[in-house]
Chain A
Amino acid sequence: QLQLQQSGPGLVKPSQTLSLTCAISGDSVSTNSAAWNWIRQSPSRGLEWLGRTYYRSKWYNDYAVSVRSRITINPDTSKNQFSLQLNSVTPEDTAVYYCAREEIVATSAIDYWGQGTLVTVSS
């Protein structure tokens, strides 16, 4: 059974960097049949896709236009996990952050989600 376990701080100061990690069990971050996503949810923005990383003979990243200048998603094959870094955060970045698997071959949908991490941006 695939599981995604998120870790990282729940409180980040304005202008600093938000960092979260998603550990994968039951699949490989290097698989050719999935992409690994970060999605956030807030009352004001609803569900907002932030970006993804995936491996197709080499590593690729896609990022949402709204955060493209501030976001980095990196795979870590040695630990079978992937991470999110969001720079220069403001209170508008306060949200529940989810990591999620997008299965490419059978469903083309997000079929597994992490447990979610509430990140509050406040001094």
Chain B
Amino acid sequence: EVVLTQSPGTLSLSPGERATLSCRASQSVSSGYLAWYQQKPGQAPRLLIYGASSRATGIPDRFSGSGSGTDFTLTISRLEPEDFAVYYCHLRITFGQGTRLEIK
């Protein structure tokens, strides 16, 4: 079973800054199944990116995904106040442990 490791565990940034979140797979995987989710307290996760780089419906273009093989990245180009949340990568039946994006 593939293990997804996210880094960093916590990222402290200010609004307007750029955020780069990493997801590393324990073995090479198909990017077609790599997704990213955002979760805010008390809410279910929300799909941001699917197929490693395609934005889901209604997701602002400041969110972008990239990567292949074992290394994947979620980038938020300019942080808005509502972007501070926990982010998870996901592949089929496996989730990463999450990266908490907090306001600096």
Contacts and interface: CB of A to CB of B under 8 A. Distances in A.
A110 B47 contact: yes
Contacts of B45: 47, 110, 113
B50 A108 contact: yes
Interface in A54-82: 62, 64-65
B77 interface: no
A46 B97 contact: yes
Interface residues of B, number: 20
Contact of B47 (A64, A65, A111, A115): A111
A105 to B, nearest CB: 12
Contacts of B50: 107-109, 111
Interface of A: 46-49, 62, 64-65, 98, 100, 107-111, 113-116
Interface of B: 1, 32-33, 35, 37, 44-47, 50-51, 54, 56, 88, 90, 93-95, 97-98
